[in-house]
Amino acid sequence: MLLISKCRGVHCGGAGHPAVRVWNAIIHTLSDMHTVALAAAGHLLHFELAVAYEIFGNPLPDGPEDWYEILLCGPGPVRVGPFTLEPEHGLERLADADTVIVPACADVDEPPPPELIAAVRVAHEAGARVASLCTGAFALGAAGLLDGRRATTHWAHAAELSARHPRAIVDPDVLYTDNGSVLTAAGKAAAVDLCLHLVHLDHGATVANAVARRLVMPPHRPGGQAQFVATPLQATGDHLLAGLLDWARERLDRPLTVADLARRANLSPRHLGRRFREVTGQTPLQWLLIQRVRRAQELLESTDESVESVAVATGMGTATTLRRQFRRVVGVPPDSYRRAFRAAPPA
């Protein structure tokens, strides 16, 4: 399997862009492993750090051989919640990493350690992909990485992040943002989503879904989904859209319309649109398109079906429509995606 290669010295819109990453995967087969460095400095929260270590530090039993090499980097003993952690490497190793993960800090009122800010900045300038989890975004902001870029953090701290770094475009309503070489995630569960998103970019949808299954998680949510639901869902899980989303996923090969979804949910199309935005952060048609493209990615990775057959199986009708929508969402044509992420010949 091909692994995404790193292009040094190119940032937003360059080597980190999904389309460029796929093209690099087509052209290059790396002899060394993709290195993920966890930047442990200051007083951290343990959940986000543990999530990143679990996802990138534990290869799948039947997964790709070129899994990640993970480095725990810090200036010395670090407080992680109620624990004390001793990193194996210094922060200078961030500059050698392909991806740098900055976990959540425990107190946003405490300025990020200067040595962390400097090391993150150097790593990004060296070409590393830098991602923050939850309040780790404050370290990225202090390093200047959020200037002019869309970013997020836990909704409770979004206003402070925006006030402290006014040149950042802070969006408190999304799970995560991807600017190519700079990514940010909201709190807790959104950190899992962003880590799965990185695996998806590097190894494809099939591998990312396998990691999610190992974590007993659904496939990662798109970054544009809302951080929280404005109208609380019923505790039993039988809210208005509970069964509708699964019903629609099972029928992606059919021409579904907003009227079809509204009829199934016994709602007016207008009311359905409001509920969709509350639950998913997207309109019904946007959500359907993303689900169709995701299904197309899985079929391109795991089958020999032609692009025409994949178009029919995902409800896009023709290869022309699939190519147009796939390129719009993923950034490259379906054929190029298949060459980059085809894990193995199907059984």
Residue 335 belongs to a domain with what CATH number?
1.10.10.60
- pLDDT of res. 270: 93
CA 98 – CA 311 distance, rounded (Å): 34
**Strand pairing category for 83-85 and 150-151:** unpaired
Instruction: Tell me: do 114 and 34 sit in the same domain.
Output: yes
Exposed, middle or buried, 106 (CB in 10 Å: 0-12/13-18/19+)? middle
Mean pLDDT of 50-79: 93
Indicate the pLDDT class of residue 325, thresholds 50, 70 and 90: very high
Residue 153 belongs to a domain with what CATH number?
3.40.50.880
Instruction: Tell me: do 30 and 61 sit in the same domain.
Output: yes
CB contact at 8 A, 151 and 171? yes
Instruction: Tell me: do 198 and 61 sit in the same domain.
Output: yes
**Strand pairing category for 83-85 and 78-80:** antiparallel
Indicate the pLDDT class of residue 277, thresholds 50, 70 and 90: confident
**Strand pairing category for 78-80 and 69-73:** unpaired
CA 21 – CA 3 distance, rounded (Å): 9
Indicate the pLDDT class of residue 189, thresholds 50, 70 and 90: confident
Q: In the chain, what's the furthest Cα-to-Cα distance?
A: 59
Instruction: Tell me: do 206 and 247 sit in the same domain.
Output: no
Highest mean pLDDT among 219-228, 277-286, 320-329: 320-329
Mean pLDDT of 243-265: 91
Q: What is the distance of C-alpha 305 from the center of its chain?
A: 27
Is 138 part of a structural domain of the chain?
yes
Specify the higher pLDDT residue, 340 or 39: 39
- pLDDT of res. 74: 96
CB contact at 8 A, 7 and 180? no
Q: pLDDT for 221-243, tens place per residue?
A: 666 554 543 333 333 344 567 68
State yes or no: pLDDT of 181 exceeds 80. Answer: yes
Instruction: Tell me: do 202 and 241 sit in the same domain.
Output: no
Is 1 part of a structural domain of the chain?
no
Is 254 part of a structural domain of the chain?
yes
The answer to whether the predicted template modeling score (pTM) of the entire model surpasses 0.85 is no
Residue where one domain finishes, among candidates 156, 187, 214: 214
Number of domains in the chain: 2
What is the DSSP code string of 108-120? TTSPPPHHHHHHH
What is the DSSP code string of 107-150? -TTSPPPHHHHHHHHHHHHTT-EEEEEGGGHHHHHHTTTTTTSE
CA 96 – CA 37 distance, rounded (Å): 9
Instruction: Tell me: do 81 and 139 sit in the same domain.
Output: yes
- pLDDT of res. 276: 86
Specify the higher pLDDT residue, 329 or 299: 299
- pLDDT of res. 4: 34
Q: pLDDT for 124-149, tens place per residue?
A: 999 999 999 999 999 999 999 999 99
Q: pLDDT for 2-43, tens place per residue?
A: 333 344 333 344 444 555 445 444 433 333 579 999 999 999
Highest mean pLDDT among 21-35, 99-113, 271-285: 99-113
CB contact at 8 A, 60 and 67? yes
SS3 182: strand
Q: Which range of residues forms the domain containing residue 308?
A: 233-347
Mean pLDDT of 87-106: 96
Average pLDDT along the chain = 84
Percent with pLDDT over 90 in the chain: 59
Is 228 part of a structural domain of the chain?
no
Exposed, middle or buried, 154 (CB in 10 Å: 0-12/13-18/19+)? buried
State yes or no: pLDDT of 261 exceeds 60. Answer: yes
